[in-house]
Amino acid sequence: MCGIVGYIGNRDAYPVLIKGLKRLEYRGYDSAGVALLNGDTTIYKKKGKVSELEAYVRGKETLSTIGIGHTRWATHGKPSDLNAHPHQSEKGLFTIIHNGIIENYSVLKKTLMDQGMKFYSETDTEVLANLIEYIYTSEDISVEVAVSLALQKVVGAYGLLVISREDPNLMIAARRSSPLVIGLGSNEYFIASDATPIVEYTDRVIYLNNDDIALIRRDELVLKNLVSESTKVNIKTLDMSISEMEKQGYEHYMLKEIFEQPRSIMDTFRGRINSETNEIRLGGLLDVKDQLVNAKRIVVIACGTSWHAGLVGEYLIEDLARIPVEVEYASEFRYRNPMIGPDDVVLAISQSGETADTLAAIQLAREAGALVLGICNVAGSSISRETHAGVYTHAGIEIGVASTKAFTAQVTVLTMMAIMIGKEKGLLSEKRFSQLLKELNDVPGQIEKILELNEEFKHIAEMYKDASNALYLGRGVSFPVALEGALKLKEISYIHAEGYPAAEMKHGPIALIDEKMPVVFIATKDSSYEKIVSNIQEVKARNGVVIAIVTEGDSIIKEIADHVIEIPKSDESLVSLTAVVPLQLIAYHIALMRGCNVDQPRNLAKSVTVE
Ligand code: F6R
């Protein structure tokens, strides 16, 4: 949420910043700005997309080799030119960009106003800029000390960059609960809220830890903690390529990511399943395997789409590994007093690895003594570092704000975990184990076949693009697929959609059914097939419109549903991996037909780093 980019070196800073902001725009896109330091500080900022900022700056003076840039997702203060970052302190000594929330900003603001300081924006960030300046001008101290003293007074989260005309060859980066990465060049540094703007310049990076302050000059990088003690620099190598971040001929990132799923799922299980030796090897879990296999209970914590993947995991782990599973919204778990202790295994699922509520829930589980494992997509992310052990999904960078390939990659990891534990516990015969591995191996090919039906999905989208409401229904492992289908539709097309367990329909949602509202059933041939056929009949008996996802060759539902989408037959445990794909594509086409910005839906941002 909010993108931060900074450059210090010998290049022209502005092109690096503007390119970086475009790469980061998926994190927030309601306003953008840059500050360039060249003796004095020049700030350009604009409400709207990065392209609007770029047009505004065209032809203006941008000469500078040190600068900072920001793309915003509003928290304090509505999107406007004034509330856009960077923010400058009252006398113009300090200029900052900030991601996160300063929770005690109103107390700080009042104190500073009592001292006669003026404020021009509604943001918490301006309060921090003024606080730094107030401390700096009240005492005879360096820029660096003023920043660390100010940060000691802050309650809340921040990832921030500070530049100052008082020390024009210095950039300060600081982090608490909001990520920052520093790319190391030769006498130059690239700083950003994630590695996407850095990868084209260097693959050597440092991920800041909480309460780190980095003092960055062209020829030197010093890491300190909040009380100015030096801390260890730990250089990592990025495993990311520029081409991954391009649309590669697709109209949208979301479409590209949907079509990547055969490959991304394969990348998730590559090297981890060996059908010849009949083995599943999840390297990141080797040290904790016994504890996992013998767990009395697994508690999944996640948000949004990752929470839906967790629900699929519940079904799989309980069915194949016979361990009780509870799936919790991280945002609820962390604010109650959960019954959790050293006997529990907590499994945090997150694409970005930066979701603030999931991170806070991890902290709580760790403090309670639980073993905390992670399923993460972004290597080096906070969640991957805060968990005791875990598994990367290896889906590749996901830029579309609506999560697609991350979901199927998470489900793939959960499937491997469930099968692995089931085998270790002696619950799965060799035959069943090999069959599941073979079925998992077949999934990428099955998704290829489903993607070939894209024109059919477009046709269905055309018919229902003007609906105001939609209902998604499934049973068993297909219920989370229904939830995920409804979430995809509502978040990118703004059509109200709800996911329900099909059997619950008659306890309420059935009242909504009329000839206008599409009801999407995930009705593949599984253990509850007959029941779901009855549910479809119940909808048809009330003149409802039914779109059904069925198993190839199904002739019964074809007779009753308005539209059927046939997907290849697979094991019941694996059906979520294939059944979700038509729902992703139908949501995509409907959103496009309604003129919505598919990759950057309104009010949303990728990586929710605020609570
Ligand atoms: C929906 C979506 C969100 C995320 C949620 C959690 O398409 O993308 O619901 O799934 O914000 O994010 P991560 O997985 O990064 O923790």
CA angle 446, 285, 410 (to 5 degrees): 30
Edge-to-edge strands of the sheet including 220-224?
A: 87-88, 94-99, 158-164, 171-176, 212-217, 220-224
The number of C-alpha atoms within 13 Å of 477 and in the hemisphere containing its C-beta is: 28
Written as six digits, the tokens of 423 are 């085998």
Spatial separation of the C-alpha atoms in residues 21 and 33, rounded to whole Å: 9
User: What does the CA dihedral 590, 594, 599, 605 come to, rounded to 10 degrees?
Assistant: -110
HSE toward the beta carbon, residue 425, CA cutoff 13 A: 20
Whether the bond between 86 and the residue before it is cis, its omega within 30 degrees of 0, is yes
Residue found by looking up tokens 């016979």 in the block: 322
Polymer length of the chain = 611
Q: What is the chain's Cα-based Rg?
A: 25
Q: Across-strand partners of 500?
A: 473
Give the CATH number of domain 453-611; options: 3.40.50.300, 3.40.50.10490, 3.40.1260.10, 3.30.9.60.
Answer: 3.40.50.10490
Contacts of 436 (CB under 8 A, 6+ apart): 320, 415, 419, 428, 571, 573, 574
Question: Rounded to the nearest whole angstrom, what is the distance from the C-alpha of residue 306 to the centroid of ligand 1?
Answer: 6
Concatenated DSSP letters for 324-372?
Answer: -EEEEEHHHHTTS-----TTEEEEEEESSS--HHHHHHHHHHHHTT-EE
Which residue reads 């489903």 in tokens? 450
What ranges do the domains of the chain cover? 3-243, 247-450, 453-611
Which of the residues are catalytic? 2, 606
Atom of ligand 1 nearest to the CA of 304: 9
- Ligand 1, pocket-test mutation among 305, 311, 583, 588, most atoms within 8 A of CB: 305
Q: What is the pLDDT of residue 276?
A: 78
Residues 385 and 208: beta-carbon distance below 8 Å:
no
pLDDT at position 177 is: 84
Amino acid at residue number 126: E
Q: Which two tokens stand for residue 122?
A: 């509604």
Confirm if 112 and 130 have CB atoms less than 8 A apart: yes
Q: State the closest ligand 1 atom to the C-alpha of 305, by its place in the atom list counted from 1.
A: 10
Half-sphere exposure of 220 (CA within 13 A, CB side): 6
Q: How far apart are CA 352 and CA 17, in angstroms?
A: 22
Q: Which CATH architecture has domain 3-243?
A: 4-Layer Sandwich (3.60)
Quote the pLDDT of residue 19: 96
Identify the pLDDT of residue 26. Answer: 79
Q: Candidates 27, 257, 303: which one to mutate for ligand 1, based on the most atoms within 8 Å of Cβ?
A: 303
Q: Which of 42, 43, 46 shows the shortest CA–CA distance to 54? A: 46
Q: Atom of ligand 1 at shortest distance to CA of 355?
A: 16
Per DSSP bridges, beta strands 66-72 and 3-8 are antiparallel
CATH 3.40.30.10 fits 247-450, yes or no: no
CA-wise closest residue to 280 among 415, 135, 148:
415
Residue-level pLDDT at 228: 84
| Three-state helix/strand/coil letters over 204-235 | EEEECCCCEEEEEECCEEEEECCCCCECCCCC
Query: From ligand 1's centre to the CA of 357, what distance in Å?
Result: 11
pTM of the model: 0.88
Residue whose CA is closest, atom 4 of ligand 1? Answer: 304
Nearest Cα to Cα of residue 378 among 399, 361, 360, 357: 399
CA pair distance 295, 283, nearest whole angstrom: 19
> What is the rounded CA–CA span in Å between residue 170 and residue 375?
37
CA angle centred on 147, ends 145 and 148, rounded to 5°: 65
- DSSP structure string for 133-192: HHHHHHTT--HHHHHHHHHHT--B-EEEEEEETTSTT-EEEEEEBS--EEEE-SS-EEEE
Q: Which helix (H) or strand (E) holds 111?
A: helix 105-114
The amino acid at 243: S
Q: Which of 208, 233, 223, 246 is nearest to 380 (CA)?
A: 208
Q: Which pairing describes strands 563-567 and 545-551: parallel, antiparallel, or unpaired?
A: parallel
3-243 and 247-450 share one fold? no
**Cα 26 to middle of ligand 1, angstroms:** 13
Which residues' Cβ are closer than 6 Å to ligand 1?
A: 303-306, 350-352, 355, 358, 402-403, 487, 491, 607-608
Low-confidence ranges of the chain (pLDDT < 70): 1
Contact indicator for 476, 526 with CB cutoff of 8 Å: yes
In the chain the first and final C-alpha atoms are separated, in Å, by 11
pLDDT of residue 600: 86
**Rounded distance from Cα 557 to ligand 1 centre (Å):** 33
By DSSP bridging, strand 344-350 and strand 297-302 are: parallel
pLDDT score of 605:
76
